[in-house]
Amino acid sequence: MKEKQRGILNPPLLPLISIITLLYFIYYLWWRASSTLNPQHPFFSWLLWAAEAFGVISFLLFTVFTRDINPRVKHKAPKPGLKVDIFVPTYNEDSDILEATLTGCQRVTYPHLTWVLDDGNRPAIKALAEKLGCKYIARPEHDHAKAGNINYALQHTSGEFIVVLDADMVPQPEYLDRTLGYFEDEKLALIQLPQEFYNQDSIQHAKHGASWHEQSLFFRVIQPGKNAFNSAFWCGSPSIVRRKALEQVGGVATATITEDIHTNVLLHSRGWKSMFVNEPLAYGIAPQTIKAFLLQRMRWAQGTMQLYRSKDCPMWIKGLTIMQRLAYLSSFLAYFEAFQKFILITIPILIIGFNVFPMRVGVLDFVIHWAPYFILNIIANQVGGRGVFQYFKTEKYNLLKTIIFIEASFTLFSRKPLKFKVTPKSVDDSVYRQERISLLWYMGILGSLVGAMLFAIYKAVAPGMYNITWDAFVIAFVWSGYNSYVIFLALKEVFEKRHERKQYRFTVSDTGTLLIKGHVVPCTVVDLSHRGAGIIIHNPMPGESADIQLIVSPQEFSSMTLPVKEIVTSRVLTDGRQHLGLVFADDLGNDTGKLFEYLFVQQPRKAEAAIYRLLLWDPFALLRRKHTA
């Protein structure tokens, strides 16, 4: 089989663009410090300058660690006979979610054992594991959450390599064939794979362009770049870990609630290697709601703060190289970008409301210097981000994370124990109320910005109220308008997301047949889940509506016969055809496993092409792809 090119070739102009951008950034900071600070407000002047300087430092680290994201090791097929255990830790996830993952595990072609690590001690999950041919472990005590669950399973298994999959992360059949061969390097402790998601209507997926999600830049550009310095991070799932390496560091770290990156630090400190393989080989469920999204990011941020205040802090633990320390630092500083965002949001409010102008500069002079700074920033990040960096999308999500990251940063100075909170994988009827509550801070900030702009207009026309310069007024007003626009876009995208179904419907275009008491009704299946389907029929429905079965006949996959419980919606389309919404029976019968495989193993493959078309964004990409295939 031909080797697939999964990495993205480095743009030839990237080094030149990065150098020009950095040189201008340095000049801009010098100009700001030497020519624009307001001596009447030194604190706020230097605070704003520090926020801009923080952005330059972040860009420098981003440039260093993404300059080369090509694969550094050629793929090798694994040797036969390796002992592999697949661990699927679970606590309270729905059995349907777990069944999809276990179905994927059983389709993995390389010989292995699949273990369900049930911290919920649920008889139904034990029965599900047995039905699907998986092993089952339930520990008597439940300390240290996921880390403790994995450590307990390590004591009761013997595989040389451990695959770790979250309860919702469905592996592809070639998962082990594409990864185990790298472990011929005896110093390789772990392989991390990208986190990709099949529910492309999630809160972290862009509304337009479903293949892009909030973690795209990290997993498609930043993580591959860390390979150059042996500093790729373990993100928990999906991954493979060498048992020997885990045992040497005492198992999965339990002192923080982000056990993966903590364990990663310990492995690197002992001289072990990590590798990121930029190939989507498993697909999971992204947080569906803003509440779940923020809860997950809060846990990540708090766990990182715990790590940095611990004895295993990457800044001083022995055994790490300078570049590894910088790699950890760059990801750590990403959480403090929230303070930068907060400063940039509140400064124009201070200017308008309290006449505090932290710059002494005219509008024209400011625009002449700031415009190249802003444009170069976008261009350099776009090129360095290989097309995955998308400015407004990234800005929206960074703003939505601002408050929780600021809140989480105080964990750096607190010794209060933190409880591991599982990210919700489904939604309930209170989802919209919860979303409004989760966004109260951001609605308040938007209201403050709009209020500041209205107050600015009032001050400009009211006699005796105008007491800042015209230059300050223009800069503050435009600045507030920009911030308001970005926050409005972020809130609008969240509130426009609909969560009417608890199970994700895959968009399909499959031939179907509706059987209704002897009547055969040809149809097209347009969306499908394990709980229902949407179909389009050309001919009128027969009068009967009982004993219904839907036969789905996809291309290049076996037909499935699924019992229908009821028809819940019916509407006539503009072209005269009829759209029906079906709900399946609770017991799907003999084709249950086949349906789960089709949905959760086969369907995500179709999204992969779209994902990597997004990455290959420059005009020469197609030629290079043919050349390297």
Predicted local confidence at residue 460, as pLDDT = 75
- What are the pLDDT digits (tens) for 243-288? 999 999 999 999 999 999 999 999 999 999 999 999 999 999 999 8
Predicted local confidence at residue 468, as pLDDT = 67
| Strands of the sheet with 135-137, listed across from one edge | 135-137, 113-118, 84-90, 161-164, 239-242, 188-192, 273-276
Predicted local confidence at residue 39, as pLDDT = 94
Q: Which of 288, 304, 322 is the last residue of a domain?
A: 288
Predicted local confidence at residue 473, as pLDDT = 83
Domain that holds residue 110: 84-288
Predicted local confidence at residue 182, as pLDDT = 97
Predicted local confidence at residue 4, as pLDDT = 38
Q: Could you tell me if 475 and 517 lie in one domain? A: no
Q: How far is CA 141 from the centre of its chain?
A: 31
Q: Could you tell me if 125 and 271 lie in one domain? A: yes
What are the residues facing 240 on neighbouring strands? Answer: 163, 191
Is residue 626 pLDDT above 50, yes or no? Answer: no
- What are the pLDDT digits (tens) for 283-318? 999 998 888 899 999 999 999 999 999 999 999 999
- Residue 305 falls inside a structural domain: no
Question: Would you place residue 428 in the very low, low, confident or very high pLDDT band (cuts 50, 70, 90)?
Answer: low
pLDDT > 90 fraction of the chain, expressed in percent and rounded: 69
Q: Could you tell me if 95 and 44 lie in one domain? A: no
- Residue 319 falls inside a structural domain: no
Q: Could you tell me if 336 and 251 lie in one domain? A: no
Spatial separation of the C-alpha atoms in residues 588 and 528, rounded to whole Å: 13
Question: Would you place residue 615 in the very low, low, confident or very high pLDDT band (cuts 50, 70, 90)?
Answer: very low
Predicted local confidence at residue 621, as pLDDT = 41
Predicted local confidence at residue 352, as pLDDT = 87
Predicted local confidence at residue 376, as pLDDT = 97
pTM over 0.95: no
Is residue 625 pLDDT above 50, yes or no? Answer: no
Q: Could you tell me if 515 and 455 lie in one domain? A: no
Burial 166-180 (b: 16+ CB within 10 A, else e): bbbbbbbbebbbbbb
Greater pLDDT, 375 or 353: 375
Q: Could you tell me if 401 and 436 lie in one domain? A: yes
CATH of the domain at 554: 2.40.10.220
Are the C-beta atoms of 103 and 596 separated by less than 8 Å? yes
Of 259-263, 490-494, 623-627, the poorest mean pLDDT is in 623-627
Is residue 531 pLDDT above 80, yes or no? Answer: yes
Number of domains within the chain? 3
Q: Could you tell me if 347 and 448 lie in one domain? A: yes
Are the C-beta atoms of 588 and 530 separated by less than 8 Å? yes
Is residue 5 pLDDT above 70, yes or no? Answer: no
Spatial separation of the C-alpha atoms in residues 232 and 176, rounded to whole Å: 19
- Residue 106 falls inside a structural domain: yes
- What are the pLDDT digits (tens) for 197-209? 998 888 888 776 5
Q: Could you tell me if 147 and 30 lie in one domain? A: no
Is residue 429 pLDDT above 80, yes or no? Answer: no
CATH of the domain at 95: 3.90.550.10
Is residue 616 pLDDT above 50, yes or no? Answer: no
DSSP assignment, residue 294? H
Predicted local confidence at residue 547, as pLDDT = 83
Q: Please choose, from the candidates 446, 468, 464, the residue with its C-alpha nearest in 3D space to the C-alpha of residue 353.
A: 468
Q: Could you tell me if 57 and 173 lie in one domain? A: no
Q: Could you tell me if 462 and 546 lie in one domain? A: no
- Kindly state the average pLDDT of the residues 59-80: 93
Q: Could you tell me if 22 and 146 lie in one domain? A: no
Greater pLDDT, 78 or 427: 78
Q: Strand, coil or helix: what is 410?
A: helix
Is residue 617 pLDDT above 50, yes or no? Answer: no
Are the C-beta atoms of 251 and 154 separated by less than 8 Å? yes
Please, what is the end-to-end C-alpha distance for the chain in angstroms? 10
Q: Could you tell me if 553 and 472 lie in one domain? A: no
Instruction: Give the Å distances, CA to CA, from 247 to 183, 241, 250, 318, 525.
Output: 16, 11, 5, 19, 50
Q: What is the mean pLDDT of the chain?
A: 89
Of 423-432, 555-564, 607-616, the poorest mean pLDDT is in 607-616
Predicted local confidence at residue 540, as pLDDT = 80
Greater pLDDT, 100 or 497: 100
Is residue 627 pLDDT above 60, yes or no? Answer: no
- Kindly state the average pLDDT of the residues 400-404: 93
- Residue 298 falls inside a structural domain: no
- Kindly state the average pLDDT of the residues 465-481: 81
